[in-house]
Structure 1
Amino acid sequence: MLSLLALCAAPVVASYFTFYVIKPSGSAYGELITPTVDLPADLPLTDLQGRAVAAESLKNQWLLTVVQPAACPEACERQLYVQRQLREMLGKNRDRVDKLWLIPDDGGMPRPELLSALSQKGVEVTVLRVPGARLQAWLKPEAGKALTDHFFLVDPMGRWMMRAPADPEPKKLKGDFDKLLKASAGWDNAGR
């Protein structure tokens, strides 16, 4: 009888031991932003043709965001490539993530060949212009880094909630995305 009681009590004892002695803690490769920062409703966004885009239209989808100038030097192209690959690595969850390129300047257009390369497989990158000062009031780089060094993740409710380290390891960053997408599967739907 005592062995049966010990067998039934073992999971309860193990859970208390784990919680109070081992103290498991979650960790992320990217930096979780606490508290999250809401997408400003009055953020002045325009598309490449100069048409106004409501910030509200960016909600209801995870946004894997990069901030790069329109000239897009080699480091920018590499970051846009990694952005595309990260989304593709998500497999069946890739439709829950949109790619967003924010251009923090007023002049210049990205090269047409770059824009066409970004639209492979029918999945385009949303490219929007935003005044640099307003962008820096919303997204913040790591100390000693620039906005162009990071990927920023915005949740479907329009809150900036994660910043990837500069030059991230895609496999580790994908691990963070997998955890977030799994945790949000009950309330998040694919597509805006």
Structure 2
Amino acid sequence: MQTPRPSPSAINKARAEHREATKGSWNKGRWMLLLLAFVCAAPVIASYLMYYVFKPAGGTTSYGALIEPQRPIPGDLMVRDEKGEPMPLTALRGKWLMVTVNGSDCGEPCATRLYFMRQVRALQAAERERVVNVWLRTDDKPVDDKIKTAYPQPDTRMLVADQGAVSKWLPISDDSQLTDHIFLVDPNGNLMERFPKNPDPAKIKGDLAKLLKWSRIG
């Protein structure tokens, strides 16, 4: 017995229903992909909003002075590493950087800043691997062995840099000089904060802890 063929109207109706079902499934899949992309990007979006959009006016809730406008690491700022090899300072992007500047003859104020930076980093616990301390040395004289032992690589980088080039990048306050400060640079290479002369390390720790908490970059 021959099976009756469906009428043209029934075929068209079935095709229309199939198209609607397919369209609905495609739309649902597209929205799921968009939702997944948003969830993945949310931490990065939140971090940018926190310290590029919702910065507290006048730095009222941060200890360090917020640097505005942004001052990215100059692309032509070259330094020499611990082996004397040239490298751009931008090679350190991808980590949070605490930066201090001083001659290689590191006296008590310099040693104190290095100690504060080491302690602040250590107190970040599991997050400390996201932070690198950088001592920009303004000459290539030998560094005391005690300093080298106390602040080893890769936690602390001791890099030789031209003081004039560094001065153009790092701003100072009216009553201070370049060697008085600790600076904070974000993983994108943007200078974020300048901490005051004779800083309170507990307050530096607080600023850094908040940034590491809100940001997933670096």
TM range (shorter): 0.7 to 0.9
Deviation at 1:123, TM superposition (A): 4.8
2:103 corresponds to: 69
Query: TM-score scaled to structure 2, two decimals?
Result: 0.70
Change (3 A) 1:123 1:49: closer
2:211 corresponds to: 180
Deviation at 1:178, TM superposition (A): 1.3
Choose which of 20, 27, 52 in structure 1 pairs with 2:61. 27
Paired positions, count: 161
Amino acid at match of 1:63: L
**Can you give the 5+ residue segments of structure 2 that lack an aligned partner in the other structure?**
1-55
Q: Identify, as 1 or 2, the structure richer in helix.
A: 2
SS in 1 for 2:77: coil
1:38 corresponds to: 72
1:161 corresponds to: 192
Choose which of 144, 154, 172 in structure 1 pairs with 2:175. 144
SS in 1 for 2:198: coil
1:118 corresponds to: 151
Amino acid at match of 2:201: P
User: Can you list the C-alpha shifts for 1:115-145, whole angstroms capped at 9, x where unaligned?
Assistant: 01112xx753111111111000000111120
2:137 corresponds to: 103
Q: Which has the higher contact order (CA 8 A, sep 6+)?
A: 1
Query: TM-score scaled to structure 1, two decimals?
Result: 0.79
Max Rg structure: 2
Amino acid at match of 2:195: A
User: Can you list the C-alpha shifts for 1:63-104, whole angstroms capped at 9, x where unaligned?
Assistant: 011111100011111111111001011112111111110012
**Can you give the 5+ residue segments of structure 1 that lack an aligned partner in the other structure?**
1-23
Q: Do the aligned residues in 2 keep the contact of 1:99 with 1:124 (CA within 8 Å)?
A: yes
Deviation at 1:42, TM superposition (A): 0.8
1:59 corresponds to: 93
Q: Do the aligned residues in 2 keep the contact of 1:65 with 1:151 (CA within 8 Å)?
A: yes
